[in-house]
Chain A
Amino acid sequence: MTAPAQTFPAGRWSQWLGQRPILLIGLAILGTFLMTAIFARFVAPYDPLFQDGAARLLPPSMAHPFGTDNFGRDVLSRVIWGARVDLQMAVIGVVFPFLIGTAVGTIAGYFGGWIDTVLMRVIDVVLAFPFLVLMLSIISILGPGLASFYIAMALVGWVSYARLVRAQILVLKTQDFSVAAASLGFSRRRIMFRHLLPNALAGSLVFVMSDAVLVLLNGAAISYLGLGVQPPTAEWGIMVAEAQGFITQAWWITLFPGLAIVTLAFGFSLTGDALADVMGVQE
């Protein structure tokens, strides 16, 4: 359940963070990726698309710390530029479902009745489809690409948030403080936005972090299958897909983009765990 998030004076922020190493590590990982993505131009040693015919399939060395791929492109530079696309996928792929789902869940939970029944049935049906299968079906209709991915995410991803928030609202509605608010004649809007939603949000904010992991993995998987970002763009999923033909000769083309995904996901997970701890949310 929800415990209050304590407020601290601004000056003690660093001290507060210092006592929470998990949160610190998580945020540090996310921050590093964000910086890398923003300053990719300056960080990357080579042009991610530049093909050096003389440097094909080179193993990791001083010149190419992550080696080169079959076109002679620098894997490190491609991994760095890939951060731009993958981080963007994880963020945008979470934001819309979060907003839609929270709104739907709040409405369903608060008003109940037939609105709730209809919305819950819709959620049941969407959840009956394996997530990736429904995503792929939608993308297959819209055609491959990042935009299709975001649209499919918004169409499918909101259900988890809606269910989570609705469940929270249903519990909170029976809590004494919301009965008190009703008995004091507060308006519906006040009860919903001042009393129910702030308490319900803690859970879904934590879920945002674990959802970011799922979105990142699905986004990369869809690109891997060739239905997301298209080559020659540097994106981690595509890089692994392109490396598959050379799996027996050049392990490094596969290894590094995958490690990037794992590390970024790890950053999201740690931050999520730490947030759950700080906000007193049980997953």
Chain B
Amino acid sequence: MHRYRFVLYRPIQLIPVLFGISVITFVLIRLIPGDPARVLLGTRATPTAIANIRAQYGLDEPLLTQYVYFVKNLFAGEMGRSILYKVDVVQLIGTRIEPTLALVAMGVVLSLLISVPFATISARRQGTLADHTVRMLSTAGIGFPSFWLGAMLIILFAVKLDWLPVSGYGGTFGEKLQHLVLPGLTIALSLSAILTRSLRAGMIAGLKSDIATAARARGMSEGVVFWRHVLPNALVPTVNLLAVNIGWLIGGTVVVESVFAVTGLGQLMARGIFTRDYMVVQGVALAFACATVLVNFLADIITVVLDPRIEL
């Protein structure tokens, strides 16, 4: 099982990236003009609070020392306090992470549920009306702005048809699921446009490939050729594409959560930017970056499982 050895050493290889992420988030905040203590605590901070934060982050020390303090605090699970919410940022992220995770999961699942069937129909009936429709929709779909798509879905399903709640995030599991359908769909529609195009291209290439020709020459039916040979080979690049787009997906939650007033990390970040709650912005950006790194690592594992040729 030496092919899976990378699961052990890859985290070590990720250290430089994680280091880079911490440097960028650190530097971003220091770039804000003005007294950093005031920037971090807001204009109405008490002198004691300012003295405290100066000590905790070493704000009077040189920049390099400040960075060391920053990392030390990170390891201690300290990312500062939110000005607006008056709670620790780590704690705040903890309470807001669930809706975002659920939203992203919903987006991924829905986009696969949409793109796999559409790509299949399109690729297997290449040149037909169905294929042209799917191609046009997926080409156009890439250009759907999520804030607008979300609003249109609200108009259609919540206002006109009154099937689903307009916005917010419920308390019970069922309510939560109901509230997540429209935002999940908003994310999924954009993503599935990208996935459908790639899957379709992969499937068409697969149907024309030597592998398919060889299988047909052995007397395999078109169904067997497609489901057993073409699809598994087309899935490998799709997983990678999904991983590449996970950043897009996570970034999308900032917009979509604002549209649907879902109380997740994305909305937290958007609010943080408006209220100049920089500790929150920093914390969420850091969390999102780490999540992206983690997802890419998972995608690597899935790729290795799917394609026996790949060694990492």
Interface residues of A (CB under 8 A from B): 121-122, 124-141, 210, 213, 216-217, 220-221, 224-227, 237, 240-241, 243-244, 247-248, 251, 254-255, 257-258, 261-262, 264-266, 268-270, 273, 283
Contacts and interface: CB of A to CB of B under 8 A. Distances in A.
Interface centre among A128, A213, A265, A269 (most CB of B within 10 A): A128
A227 B147 contact: no
B155 A141 contact: no
A247 B281 CA distance: 29
Contact of B148 (A130, A132, A254): A254
Given A129-B21, A129-B285, A213 B143 contact: yes
Interface centre among B21, B29, B254 (most CB of A within 10 A): B254
Contacts of A264: 143
A260 to B, nearest CB: 10
Contact of A224 (B142, B250, B255): B255
B21 A128 contact: yes
Interface centre among A221, A237, A244, A283 (most CB of B within 10 A): A221
Nearest to B247: A130
Q: List 8 tightest A-B contacts by C-beta distance, closest first.
A: A265-B143, A132-B251, A125-B20, A258-B148, A130-B251, A130-B247, A140-B273, A130-B250
Interface stretch (B4-12, B51-59, B72-80, B286-294): B286-294
A125 B148 contact: no
Given A133-B285, A141-B28, A226-B274, A269 B143 contact: yes
B94 interface: no
A138 B28 CA distance: 7
B47 interface: no
Contacts of A255: 152
Contacts of A122: 20
Given A129-B288, A133-B254, 15 more contacts: A121-B16, A128-B289, A129-B292, A130-B288, A137-B282, A140-B281, A141-B32, A220-B147, A237-B147, A240-B147, A247-B154, A254-B155, A265-B142, A269-B143, A283-B201
| Chain A contact residues: helix, strand, loop or mixed | helix
Contacts of A139: 273
Interface of B: 16-17, 20-21, 23-25, 28-29, 31-32, 139-140, 142-149, 151-152, 154-155, 159, 201, 246-252, 254-255, 258-259, 269-270, 272-274, 276, 278, 281-282, 284-285, 288-289, 292-293
Given A128-B289, A129-B285, A141-B28, A121 B254 contact: no
Contacts of B246: 130
Nearest to A212: B143
Given A129-B21, A224-B255, A247-B151, A137 B281 contact: yes
A258 B151 contact: yes
B155 A237 contact: no
Nearest to A136: B273
Contact of B147 (A241, A269, A283): A241
B151 A133 contact: no
A225 B252 CA distance: 12
A213 B248 contact: no
B146 A221 contact: yes
Contacts of B155: 247, 251, 254
Nearest to A282: B201
Contacts of A268: 143
Contacts of B24: 125-126, 129, 134
Nearest to A223: B147
Nearest to B139: A269
Contact of A131 (B143, B151, B251, B269): B251
A225 B292 contact: no
Contacts of B152: 254-255, 258
B136 to A, nearest CB: 9
Interface centre among A138, A243, A254, A257 (most CB of B within 10 A): A254
